[in-house]
Amino acid sequence: MARNFKEALRHRRSYYSITDSSPISDKAIREIIDFAIMQVPSAFNSQSTRIVLLLGKQHKRLWKITKEILKQLVPEKMFQKTETKIDESFASGYGTILFFEDQTVVEQLQNSYPLYADKFPLWAQQTSAMHQLAIWTMLEDEGLGASLQHYNPLIDEQVAREWELPFTWKLIAQMPFGIPTEKVEPKAFEPLDKRVLIFK
């Protein structure tokens, strides 16, 4: 749809009811991810963000793994609600994007710049957040709805094993996406004068 930047941000929302279809090709989804990886900034140009795109059976596998892990942790009486949420809000989608930060890069920066060593993990999180927003907004602009989930660190080890990923890749978030099947309620906003200060 190619909205301008402000309009694209205005329309980005969280969708918890999505279908396993997409209005754009898998190639176009990949192009969105590649664009974000190339263009989103990072501290010291570290380029520490890593992304895994799961589609089809691989997407379904992620949420099956998540349910299997949660079933061992969530009380039996409460698990049905958890399972329904995963099945209807996440696994029901077309795909999932996994966001990682490569700790090898973070540690190299810590060693190279010891004065800022304690800041690099925080800056890596900020880099990941910018990638998440950029991709989320571009997906929305193409007619795909998404939400941001954080089942890490519970699923980290199993995810790394399942897709043979380096254990130095730290999982930050999961973004299931698909065509939205619901209308979202208007957002409520806190007063701007409580959130923005200007000094001249």
Task: Catalogue all structural domains in the chain, each as residue range(s) with its CATH number.
Answer: 15-181 (3.40.109.10)
Rounded distance, CA 71 to CA 46, Å? 38
Rounded distance, CA 120 to CA 166, Å? 20
Q: Do you know the residue count of the chain?
A: 200
Count of beta carbons in the 10 Å neighbourhood of residue 190: 7
C-alpha pair distances (Å), 53 with each of 43, 60, 168, 183? 24, 12, 18, 26
74: burial class by Cβ within 10 Å (0-12, 13-18, 19+)? Answer: middle
Q: 94-148, pLDDT tens digit by residue? A: 999 999 999 999 999 999 999 999 999 999 999 999 999 999 999 999 999 999 9
Q: What mean pLDDT is predicted for residues 18-34? A: 98
